[in-house]
Structures are given as C-alpha cells and as structure tokens.
Amino acid sequence: MTICMNIAYPFLVGDLLLDYAKGNLDQCVEFLMKYGIYKMPETEIKTLGFGVKGSGFYGRSKGVIKSPYGTKTVEDDPEREIKLYPLKRLFNQTEKEISSIDLKSCTNFRLKDDQISNIQNVKYIFCDKDKLARFDAENIILKNVNPEEDVFILKETGHFPYFEDPDQLEEVFKKILN
C-alpha cells in the first residue's frame, strides 16, 4: 500500500516558489509557511522562558530572534516565528538548491494515461484548509479511487498536518493501517 498526502497532480509549482527555492531558501520557506499553515499547534512551554525550547534555546530583543538556526528580524509576530522553528528546520539543506531541484522535478513529472490507470492500493490524505495542494475529486489521479475507502480529509488543517494537528493525522493513519 502507498499513502499519498496533500498532493495535487500534476505537481505544478509556481514560478515564484521556484525562484525563491533557487535563490533564497528563507523566502521559499516563508512562502510555504504563509500559504501552508492554517493553524498553529498548541505548544506546552515547560520553562519560564519563551518558545517551545525555553529561553536558553532562543534569544529575542527588539524584534530580533536568535536561534541555533540563524538570526532573523521579525517585527509582526515574533511568537509565531518561534513556534514555526521546528517546522522550518525540516527545510534546512546541506547543499545549495536542493529544494529548487526537488520542486523543478515535481513540475516536470507526468504519468502516462496507462500508468494512471494502473495505480492501485493507494490511500490519499488531504487537508480541507490546504492552499498548496487542494483536494479535487475530479483529478485524473483519483479516477480509480473509491472516495469513501481511499480518500481521507483532515478537518481544519493546512498543508502540514504533522505539525498542525498530529493527533488527527495519527487517527487517520490508524484507520488506514488497521
């Protein structure tokens, strides 16, 4: 069995995101956070400091946030920025343009009609508030799918359900795998 989460076939990636991924990973990640996050997860702060890791991990003064992942000036919502650090770490890259290469590959990828017809034993997970990969029941990739058994839609969640609502995602995985 294969599980696909938050896909939109064909995998078209906008020019703006491709440009960001090629030249400025910070802008690329900001784009993904802006359009991909619907709700911030609840975080339990276990110290008197701020942020999910405590004040020894983060430093902040006059809109400047310092962490092991870099320093950034944030005037609008520094608390949101601190909460997003765990997700943003996933986009760290060891070589220049890894994200760019990946996103270009997505844009160029196409299946032939017979390949689409042969897709079987796939479960799809979508999120109802996802702006980056919206569910479309008419999508060609879903033509052989029984929507009641093979498509799961998470409620009130954006493109990153493992960050926004891991409990709801876990329940869907249990349904699929049991």
Mean pLDDT along residues 26-44 = 77
Asked if pLDDT for residue 59 goes beyond 60, the answer is no
**For the chain, what is the domain count?**
1
CATH of the domain at 170: 3.40.50.1820
pLDDT at 35: 82
Bigger pLDDT: 48 vs 110:
110
- In 10 A of CB 141, how many CB atoms? 18
pLDDT at 44: 52
Residue 25 DSSP label:
H
pLDDT band per the 50, 70, 90 thresholds, residue 173: very high
pLDDT band per the 50, 70, 90 thresholds, residue 70: low
Asked if pLDDT for residue 151 goes beyond 70, the answer is yes
pLDDT at 152: 97
d(CA 129, CA 71): 30
pLDDT band per the 50, 70, 90 thresholds, residue 172: very high
Does some domain include residue 19? no
Give me the chain's average pLDDT, please: 79
- DSSP reduced 3-state for 4: strand
Does some domain include residue 17? no
Does some domain include residue 132? yes
Asked if pLDDT for residue 85 goes beyond 90, the answer is no
Nearest CA among 34, 28, 6 for reference residue 15: 28
Does some domain include residue 45? no
Mean pLDDT along residues 111-140 = 92
Answer for the pair 135, 122: CB distance below 8 angstroms, yes or no. Answer: no
pLDDT at 177: 94
Asked if pLDDT for residue 146 goes beyond 90, the answer is yes
Does some domain include residue 172? yes
Mean pLDDT along residues 106-119 = 88
Domain span at residue 139 reads: 2-10+108-177
The token pair that represents 12 in the structure block: 């078209």
Strands (E), 16-130: 59-61, 64-67, 70-73, 122-127
Does some domain include residue 71? no
pLDDT at 56: 47
Does some domain include residue 170? yes
Asked if pLDDT for residue 157 goes beyond 60, the answer is yes
Answer for the pair 125, 145: CB distance below 8 angstroms, yes or no. Answer: no
